[in-house]
């Protein structure tokens, strides 16, 4: 990634997390956060990687996050002062799942 795309990725991560914290209502007892963002070289698309805790609520909560994406996109258009506002694509950050499987294997 170029320095500019890294800066945009960092800015997107911060703003999206602020929007989620302020406006998104996850299911009771669930924590949702964006762990990282990658931006395409042309800056027209970005992928936000979402972590959900506890992982047993991942599927239903991630579906809610994806539905909430249009609100996030609208907020980004208002908050970002860049020529191009990337279209956000959502992905599950499966690092926590991998760590949990490794931890479980080590404990057994």
**Would you state the pLDDT for residue 16?**
98
**Would you state the pLDDT for residue 100?**
65
Q: Does domain 3-107 have CATH number 3.30.300.20?
A: yes
Predicted model pTM = 0.87
Sheet of 45-53, strand order: 31-39, 45-53, 87-92
Phi (first) and psi of residue 81, to 5 degrees: -110, 50
**Residue ranges in the chain whose pLDDT is less than 70:** 96-97, 99-101, 103
CB 90 within 8 A of CB 70: no
Q: Which of 13, 87, 77, 103 is nearest to 50 (CA)?
A: 13
At 13-35, the pLDDT tens digits run 999 999 999 999 999 999 999 99
Give me the residue spans of the domains in the chain.
3-107
**Would you state the pLDDT for residue 106?**
77
């Amino acid at each position: 990634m170029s320095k500019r795309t890294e800066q945009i990725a960092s800015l997107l991560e911060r703003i999206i997390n602020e929007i989620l914290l302020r406006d998104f209502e996850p299911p009771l007892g669930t924590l949702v956060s964006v762990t990282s963002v990658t931006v395409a070289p042309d800056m027209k698309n970005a992928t936000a990687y979402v972590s959900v805790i506890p992982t047993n609520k991942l599927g239903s909560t991630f579906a809610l996050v994806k539905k909430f994406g249009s609100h996030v996109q609208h907020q980004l258009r208002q908050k970002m002062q860049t020529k191009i506002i990337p279209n956000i694509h959502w992905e599950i950050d499966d690092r926590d799942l991998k760590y949990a499987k490794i931890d479980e294997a080590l404990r057994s």
